[in-house]
Amino acid sequence: MKKLFIYSTVALAALTSCNDLLDKSPLDTFTNTSAYWSNTSNVDNQCNTFYNQYLGYGNGGGGGWFYFKTLSDDQVDYQDNNWTNLNVPSSSTNWSAPFTEIRRAAYIIEGVNGSTLTEKEKNNFIGIARLNRAWQYYQLVRMYGNVPWVEGVLDPNDKEVLYGPRTDRDAVMDKVLEDLNFAAAHITGTNKQRFSADMALAMKADVTLYEGTYCRYRTADDNAGKGPDEARAKKYLQECVSACEALMAKSYALSGDYKANYNSLSLASNPEMIFYKPYSQNSLMHSTIDYTVNTSGTSGMTKDAFDAFLFLDGKPLATTSMDTNDAVEPDAEGHFNIEPILATRDKRLSIILDPVLAFKGSAYSRAGVAPFTSSTGYGIAKYDNPDELALGDRNNIGKQYTDCPLYWISVVYLNYAEAKAELGTLTQSDLDKSVNLLMERAGLPGLTTAPEADPANNMGVSNLLWEIRRQRRCELMFDNWTRYWDLVRWHQLELLDSNKHPNIYKGANLSKLANPEVDVAADGYMIGSNTINQPRAYDKKYYFYPVPSGQITLNPQLDQNPGWK
């Protein structure tokens, strides 16, 4: 086999018992003895199961983190564009599944502590367990706010813990930071397909940026009575800067090819990669490329996202001196070629999108695949690799084997610039060694610390923060559901209200198309598939997911999140 392969093709089963904190799956099939935990192969096998939680491009026919997470102002899903929850569910794997891995981490920590392994071996395995406990709690806190914190292996008779209240989310996140610091200090090994100290630092940079900005921008009204905490925000933002600086001092560097981060058969030699998920033909494959050419419909880019990309003069739509016309006429074959429009913009846009619009009545075939349509006219090409993948491997479920980036230096650069800008310490030198490297690759002039105002700035932040946020959006377009959680931490979730912000449901300019077969707004822009009957209205309750009612029935001390009944 050409790659180290450690990912299971089957995701872990959801919890099935009545209490998620106590469920014994999947760790009740071995003899829990010191001898078991003193065998490094046994402990390694337990730790390897954590990799199943890093979906990447997905496994087999299932969806993954990239392209599929369409709840944002970047994409219009061709089927469902509403909020994750419209009602309180009786159960949810979003709540239950993390506790399987939290319990696994607790067993590893307890078992390894009682083993005869060397201190270095113990700390390595405990570091991996704490890293993954931190990852699971980070997901839970982002979704639910306050959640039960479980430090060790629970005793079934410990009713006070089993049926206790949720722990304050700030206290949980402090524990998450402790876990990540331990992991970064003690995990050994440098394999980019495995957990490492650098991967822990990259995760820490993401988590602390989230926490620092979340605590700065949250309001008591929208966040369960917990308002801004400036001291806490500064602490976490500085932690982010420190983690980024540690990684930026190492040998990671930008690849010359933006698309190669997303469509390579191997990321082993890519200098940007800190941690990636390997796929192998006939061993572990995914379907991300195939879903971007799905003949039943694909999820396209919004007009709002399209308009976020700068022109090559470094200016936005409102102030550029370049041609801003985005309407296109059909060519001799009836296709709507947008290459001339893309040629005036940030080079990432022409890499992300197909050069020809795809919509009902004008389907498009990308490099031989079956003709498909997009919900907004804009097809998503950034993950495809027609040069190295056979047609049948690109155009079929579960047949793609391009590697997937999980943590890479581009994101670290973005985190660094944003954290320093939030702290008020960002210098021109800081920009030049972070965000401006990404802009140079995109064919754009670099940012200064005093950029011109963009009339489109609707976030109430400085011109500098607005431009750094723009670069984050454009660089990470359709990656890891990043945009949704960015809007949460910036306290900008109301931007997902399609009634107040109609461009998040619009697509390409079809004003020159006579008798279109798709819905077109009065201004000539395509209205995303299925969105007319799916208006997405903002409510402050959406800052938190609802706690499953079944869990509250079992434990009445698990109070429901505000606004959910």
* pLDDT confidence bin for 29, thresholds 50/70/90: low
Spatial CA neighbour of 361 closest among 512, 516, 524: 516
Strand partners, 277: 404
Q: Please check whether residue 279 is in contact with residue 285, taking contact to mean a CB–CB distance below 8 angstroms.
A: yes
> Quick check: is 200 in a domain?
no
Per-residue H/E/C for 71-128? CCCCEECCCCCCCCCCCCCCCCHHHHHHHHHHHHHHHHHHHHHCCCCCHHHHHHHHHH
The per-residue pLDDT for range 484-540, each reduced to its tens digit, is 999 999 999 999 999 999 999 999 999 999 899 999 999 999 999 989 989 999 999
CA angle, 150 as apex, 145 and 156 as ends, to 5°?
Answer: 130
Q: Per the domain annotation, does 316 fall within a domain? A: yes
Range list of H helices, 433-564: 435-441, 463-475, 482-489, 549-554
pLDDT at 187 > cutoff 80: yes
What residues make up the domain containing 526?
A: 294-382+505-535
Surface-to-core class of residue 88, CB atoms within 10 Å of its CB (0-12 exposed, 13-18 middle, 19+ buried): middle
- Closest Cα to residue 96, out of 159, 19, 168? 19
Distance CA 412, CA 462 (A): 21
Q: Return the amino acid letter for 383.
A: Y
Residue 157: per-residue pLDDT: 64
User: Is 544 among the domain residues?
Assistant: no
Task: Tell me if the bond preceding 148 is cis, omega within 30° of 0.
Answer: no
Is 377 part of any domain?
yes
User: Is residue 365 in a domain?
Assistant: yes
Q: Which of 11-15, 144-148, 395-399, 475-479 has the least mean pLDDT? A: 11-15
Residue 24 has pLDDT above 90, yes or no: no
423 neighbors 233 (Cβ within 8 angstroms): no
Q: Count of domains in the chain?
A: 1
179 neighbors 131 (Cβ within 8 angstroms): yes
For residue range 375-408, list pLDDT tens digits in order: 999 999 999 999 999 999 999 999 999 999 999 9
Q: What is the pLDDT of residue 480?
A: 83
Residue 159 pLDDT grade (very low, low, confident, very high; cuts 50, 70, 90): low
| Rounded Cα distance, 418 and 281, in Å | 38
Q: Rounded to an integer, what is the distance from CA 225 to the centroid of its chain? A: 27
Let me know if residue 526 belongs to a domain.
Answer: yes
- Tokens 């723009």, residue? 470
Residue 355 belongs to a domain: yes
| pLDDT at residue 23, rounded to an integer | 55
Q: Say what the pLDDT of residue 21 is.
A: 55
For the chain, the residue count is: 565
At 230-249, the pLDDT tens digits run: 999 999 999 999 999 999 99
pLDDT at position 71, please? 97
Sign of CA dihedral 139, 140, 144, 147: negative
Q: What percent of the chain has pLDDT over 90?
A: 89
Q: Residue 265: inside a domain, yes or no?
A: no
Q: What are phi and psi of 407, to 5 degrees?
A: -135, 130
